[in-house]
Structures are given as structure tokens and as C-alpha cells.
Structure 1
Amino acid sequence: MSKERSHGIIIDKVSRDLMIIRYDDTTTKYFEALWEIPEGVTYNAYLLVDDDATILFDSWKKGLENDFLNALSSVIDIRDLDYVVIHHMESDHSGSIKALYEKNPDITFIGHPMTNKLLRSLYGISPRFRAVKDGEILSTRNYQLMFIHVPWLHWPETMVTYIPQIKTLLTCDVFGAYTIPKSVFIEDLSDEYVFSMRKYFANIIGFYRDNVIKNLDKVLTITKGDIEIIAPAHGAVIKGDLVRKAIDLYREFALKTPVNRKIVVAYSSMYGFVDGIMNHVTQVLSDWGFNVSSYRFTDKERAGIGDLIGDANNALGIVLGISTYDTEPFPLMDYVINLLIKKLRGGKPILLITDYGWGDVVLKHVKARLEKAGFTVIDAISVNGVPTKDDLNKIDIALQSFKQAMTQ
């Protein structure tokens, strides 16, 4: 049972002397002012109270300073706070730092050597600061806090903290998820929760995926894999048998391993021409037993781009249907293509279909962009308006090649 749960705030024990202080954000509609999050998101700070030291790990989003100070003050006297560990300086985690410093200028802030400069540039403060080396340990009476640098997950100064006495890894963005879990601990890695983890990974960490496996292996080597609790800054705390499953999932996310015979179909259709084509494509793929997720940009529907990128991360393949707009790809699909290139970084088979009115100018340009980014374009077909029987025949042949590429 939570010690406190009111006004979107949860304060509860995680393990012995470690406590979570969580804020449930239902008002932010676009995470990082970019990603649609109708499911909401949490900001998780953690507090370790030992006999001789009180240590806070991260805080809440900028703009929630008063709420955070009030929540923290319900547990401790802020004047008794000895250390604040900063795992990552982005403002959804560091937003209350200045307010904490103003309440208690005797706090020692702990972070990566780069963090001190960011404290000055982002918040205009120069507090007591301890820059920790990779693998450095801070000892209190009953605990040892090991700080492990995990650069580019997802900023260069990101680090995690391992506490061997409670076998807990505090991970900030790593292992994070969107959504607002009903409880502090996740009871099962359900399809819904895995989707929220994958979406968060693809949206936020995906650009830096080349660093994920080496940093994950580094952490597991240093900790000898002796981890029973993962405490991220977004989403639920993961414990017990689910820890290994979560680690395996993170490898799956980083490697873009295909799951569930998933195919992502994304398209724009201003007047229904592309819509008709993609309905045909979706029906054929579904008849073949693929699990098809469609993301549409039409005059009646606008897909969630964050969901799309998350789904595409572990898809077998992607079908793109692009209408022509002012001699260029339809703007929202152009945006989707840019994000697929940036966040997935290639490695997926793609079937490309474009539709045009008076000029066939988009196909070659888009195909070249995708191939340069490392995607394999199985086929690229342009249709002039309403598809003819010959067009549909070409699309069916292309779908056969697409199917073969995904089932080899």
C-alpha cells in the first residue's frame, strides 16, 4: 500500500531504505514537445535514507518544482538532504535541482564530469559538485553506491547507479516506459506495457541504439548480473523474474529483432487514392497471416507518430504509401521517413508505393533516401491516380517479393 497517493503523487517503498517519489503526468500531450503520449508518463525520483546520509536520485520535470518540494518535504526535512545524484541532466529529471539548491545550498550534487557545466548553463547555479569517475563508489554506513557511466543513453553524461546491498539498478531513461502504471511495481510485462517500453525506447533512445548493447553488457559485467530491481525514471519499477525479461527486451529493442510477424503500413491519402491501394495491400498481407498495423494520415485520421516509430522498431518490414504534394512527398510522410531514418537507422525491408497526379517526381527521391540510410527497398512502384489492373498486378508481384524477403 502506498504511503501517499494523492493529486497524481505516489510515495512508496521500493526496498528497505529506498523510496520512490513519483508524479503521474496526465497533462503533457507531447513528450519532448514532439511525441504524442495520450497514455501519460511518470517522473520517478528515488530517495535513500541511511543512518548517516540521505541521498536523492533525480527529481521531476521543470515546472513541477513546488509539487516536488512538497512531496519530498513530506518524507524528510530538505535541510537534511546530503546528496543529489544526477543521472541525466535533461529537464524532465533535473527540473527541481535549482529549487533544491535554494532550499539547501549545503547539498552536494553528484554526476558525470560534464554535468557541472550543464548545471550552470541550464539553471544558472554553481552548487557543491562531486564529479564521479566511471565505477567510482560512494559509501554510506550500510550501502555502497557505484556510479557507472553509460554515455549516449541518451545524452553523453548519462550514468546509472548500482546498489549491491539491495541489488538495485537505478537507470533514469534506460528501461523507461510511457504510460501511468496502476502501481509502483509492474506485475507482468504484458503486451501493452512492452509496447510502451518499445515506443519509449524507439522515440528517445533509438538514435543512440549503437551504444545500447555495449553499455548494457558493461553494466551486467560490472554488476555480475546480480540485479533484482530496476528502478527507471519513467514507468514502473521492475523486480524479480521480470528483470531478466526486461534486459532481454532491451536487447531486442536495440537489435530491432522482428516479433509477432509484425508489418507496419504507414501512408498518406488526401483524396482516397492511396487509401484504396493500401487497403488492398493490408488485406493481402493479413491473408498471408502477418500481423499488420496501419498508420494513416488522411482527412479523417491522423496516426500517432510515436506509436508508429515504436511499432516499426521490431517489425518484420514496412510498407510506405506516399501521396505527392507540391512535387514532394506529402509533408507528414516526409516527416515519418525522416524519423524512421533517424531512429531506426536502417535494417528493415521496405515496400514503397507512391501516387501522383500530374508528375511522377517523388519515387526515385524517396527510394534513394531510404537506401542511403540502410533500408532495403524491395520494390518501388508509382501509381498515377486510381490504380489500374496493371498497377495492382505490379503491386501483387511486389508483395510476393516483400513476403519472400521477410520469410527467408
Structure 2
Amino acid sequence: MEIANSVHYVGISTNELKIFENLWELDYGVTFNSYLINGEKKALIDACPSNFFNLLKNNIEKICPIKELSYLVLNHLEPDHSEAVLNFLEDCPEIQILTTKMGANMLLNFYGVKERVKEVKEGEIIDLGGYSLKFISSPFIHWPETMMTFEETTKTLFSCDCFGGFGEIKDKIFAEENKDDILEEERYRYFVNILASYTKHIEKAIAKIETMPVSAICPSHGLIYKEPKTIIEKYKKWCGYSSGINENYIPVVASTMYGMTLKAAEKIKNIIKENGVGSELFDLSNIPPSFVLKEIYKAKGIIFLSPTYDGLLFPKTSDFLFRARAKEIKNKKVAFAGSFAWAGGALKEFEEWCKVLNWELIGSAEFKGSPEQYAEKLENLARTFLQSFEK
């Protein structure tokens, strides 16, 4: 598919993969986007996992023989973008790999590749004959070696993981034409799961991009943007969540073994909604943490519920908190309610997590067995938490 004059989308869309980075669920699939610039010299922007190489090769050869490629630009060395490098070196006798200095070190460490590698620097330009590639340093989006590539003639920015999204795309690769609600949510979930730890770096990259005459943004996953301002503004908003500019929203995040904490969680959720604040209940025992992280990231506060398990938090909750720490979801107001059968312990561990995450614990409540007899205690917890936002 030609997305600009002599710039072709040759990527792969798949629902075969069920997990990304062996960590994040892919309920709706994913794309591995690659782009062919068909100048006098031909350049491919970003590769793919090695098991998808033949599909990528077939897409390239609809435009030109793969052996005619002069350059493979690796904006990012994570294997979902670079693993097929050995296939390209074998099939393309003249190809040269373009990447950053740190990217070249990763090529050597990951794949033993050191020949036919050219290190490129910020602002350096490669002439393709009619088209030219300019390299933009963008470290820590989301690895330290990352860069973006700007094609100056068509004013197309190849942004790699920045502005990406989860989700298989069956047709309509342009965001302006594809209004699939699932893809919209998957774009935000991708941001939280993959990029949320690096918002300061993203904001620096956006400041660079906004000084450039960009006509289209082509990420390495998800949709292409012919109106760059739309996705840039979304990213500004999402980065703002990390600094406390949040939604009027308090999710209730619970885990349970036998349903007792869920009864309490349902009651707390209803009290929040009755007071005009958005709320949903998320059961970590049944909903993958990937989907719940995106909910707490945008929230102004969170109420957690967990049973005690061997004197600690239920593992579904502690695993979720570990992921929240990894994604730097910090500086939130929280409350906690915990159930137990004979002795507590979950609250103590949750308090330690609050210190790690720099969360302000507004209140807590523990209940023994069924929550019905502790209804007033739980209601007071919810109302105290709501009142903390009025100060």
C-alpha cells in the first residue's frame, strides 16, 4: 500500500500472537509495521520477528526484489523490530544496516552482527536519490538506543514504538479512516503497558517533532496518522496522567478466592458512583492486569480490595502492584479493604507497596469473613476516600 509518493506500507498484521513481550495479552492481535521507500536507492524502515520474515519479504517483493534493498533502518533493536536482520543480511547482498551507536552494540550482542552496519547520529542525512532520511534521536522510547527517521521529501516521520498501538488491522491502515473503538482502546493500552514509564522522554520527543513539518506519522505498531496533531495531542494528555492531571474516575480493583471481597468491592463501587464520580469494578482474578493498568493510570484515585493469603496479599494483587511499579504509576491516592479468615496480613504488605509507589493511603478497613456485617465500616471507607478529594 502506497502511503505517500514512493513510500509503501509493507507490514504484517496478525492475530496469531497471544502475548506481547511474553507479558502483555494480545486479545485483538498486533501489527509489525515496516515501510519501503522506493527511491533510486531503496530503504526499509524497521523489520520484524524472524518467524514473520517470509511474509515481510513477500510484501516487499510486490514492489521490488528484496535483493535491491540498499538500507535497513533499525530505529529500535528490540527483537520484534530487529530479529529478522540475519534474514536480510542473507537475502540482500548490498544491504547496509543503519542504527544508532548503542543500536550497533545491541546488534553485536543480540545477533553477532558487526559487518555492514553504519552508525548514524542525530541530524545525519542519507540520500536515497529523490528521497532522503534524517535521523532523530529519541532515547528511552522505550529503550535507550531508539531513534526516529524522517523522510524529508514526503515529510513522513517513522516514529517506531512512539504513537504505536496494539490490535490487528484488517483494512484501513490510516487512523482517520479507521474508527474502530477497539483499536482506540488498544492504542491507549499499548501506551500504558509499553511506554508509561517514559513520559518525560516522550514529551521531549514531541517537542522536537512539533518543530518539524511532519505530514504523516508511521509507527511500528498500529495505525498510521495523516493528521499528526491528533495522536500528538492524545499523547500529551496521556503523559499528563503521570503528573497528576487525571480523570474524575476511581476504579475499584479487587482480587478474590471465593467471592467475599467482590461483594465488598461492588458495594464500594456503587457508593462512588452515587456520589457523581466515575467508577468500575475490576476483578484481578478474571481480568488480565494489562487491561486494568490502563484504568488506574488515568484515575485520580484507586480503591483496592484483597484477601489475605498466607499472611500476605493475594498473589493476583501483589503481581498487579509489581506491574504498576514497573510502569511508574505513582503519586496516587488509594484506599484498601481486606478480608481474612483467622488472621490478617494483606494490609501490612499493601502499606509497603504504597511506600514503594509513593501512593497516599487515605484509609483502610479489614473484615473477617463475609462483608455484610461490616457494611458501615466499608461505607465509611468509601466516603472518607471521596472526601479526601474535596480538600
TM-score (norm 2): 0.93
Give the root-mean-square deviation of aligned CA atoms. 1.9
Q: Pick from 156, 173, 183: which aligns with 1:168?
A: 156
Instruction: Deviation per CA, 1:27-69: give whole Å up to 9, x if none.
Output: 111111111111111110001011x210100112231122222
CA distance in 1, matches of 2:116, 2:86: 12
Please, which runs of 5 or more residues in structure 2 have no aligned partner? none
Could you tell me which residue of structure 2 aligns to residue 311 of structure 1? 295
CA distance in 2, matches of 1:38, 1:119: 31
Summarize the Cα distance change of 1:68–1:326 in structure 2 as closer, same or farther, 3 Å threshold.
same
Q: Are 2:68 and 1:80 equivalent residues in the alignment?
A: yes
1:265: how far off?
1.8
How many residues of Structure 1 are paired with residues of Structure 2 in the alignment? 387
Could you tell me which residue of structure 2 aligns to residue 239 of structure 1? 226
Partner of 2:114, secondary structure, is coil
Q: Pick from 273, 290, 293: which aligns with 1:286?
A: 273
Please, which runs of 5 or more residues in structure 1 have no aligned partner? 1-11
Structure 1 residues 249-398: aligned runs within 5 Å: 249-256=234-241, 261-298=248-285, 302-387=286-371, 389=373, 391-398=374-381
Q: Are 2:5 and 1:16 equivalent residues in the alignment?
A: yes
Partner of 2:89, secondary structure, is helix
Could you tell me which residue of structure 1 aligns to residue 206 of structure 2? 216
CA distance in 1, matches of 2:21, 2:2: 29
Percent identical pairs in the alignment equals 26
The aligned amino acid for 1:362 is: A
Partner of 1:291, secondary structure, is coil
CA distance in 2, matches of 1:297, 1:156: 32
The question of whether the paired residues in 2 share the 8 Å contact of 1:20 and 1:44 is answered with: yes
Instruction: Deviation per CA, 1:295-330: give whole Å up to 9, x if none.
Output: 2134xxx10211111222212221211111111111
CA distance in 2, matches of 1:105, 1:140: 18
The aligned amino acid for 1:56 is: L
The aligned amino acid for 1:213 is: E
CA distance in 2, matches of 1:137, 1:125: 23
The question of whether the paired residues in 1 share the 8 Å contact of 2:75 and 2:146 is answered with: yes
The aligned amino acid for 1:249 is: K
The question of whether the paired residues in 2 share the 8 Å contact of 1:345 and 1:374 is answered with: no
TM-score (norm 1): 0.90
Summarize the Cα distance change of 1:198–1:68 in structure 2 as closer, same or farther, 3 Å threshold.
same
Instruction: Deviation per CA, 1:336-376: give whole Å up to 9, x if none.
Output: 01111221331222121111111122212212321332222
1:95: how far off?
2.3
CA distance in 1, matches of 2:64, 2:389: 56
Summarize the Cα distance change of 1:254–1:244 in structure 2 as closer, same or farther, 3 Å threshold.
same
CA distance in 2, matches of 1:196, 1:402: 30
CA distance in 2, matches of 1:393, 1:371: 28
The question of whether the paired residues in 2 share the 8 Å contact of 1:371 and 1:377 is answered with: no
Q: Are 2:186 and 1:201 equivalent residues in the alignment?
A: no
The aligned amino acid for 2:254 is: Y
Could you tell me which residue of structure 2 aligns to residue 154 of structure 1? 142
Could you tell me which residue of structure 2 aligns to residue 53 of structure 1? 41
Summarize the Cα distance change of 1:407–1:340 in structure 2 as closer, same or farther, 3 Å threshold.
farther
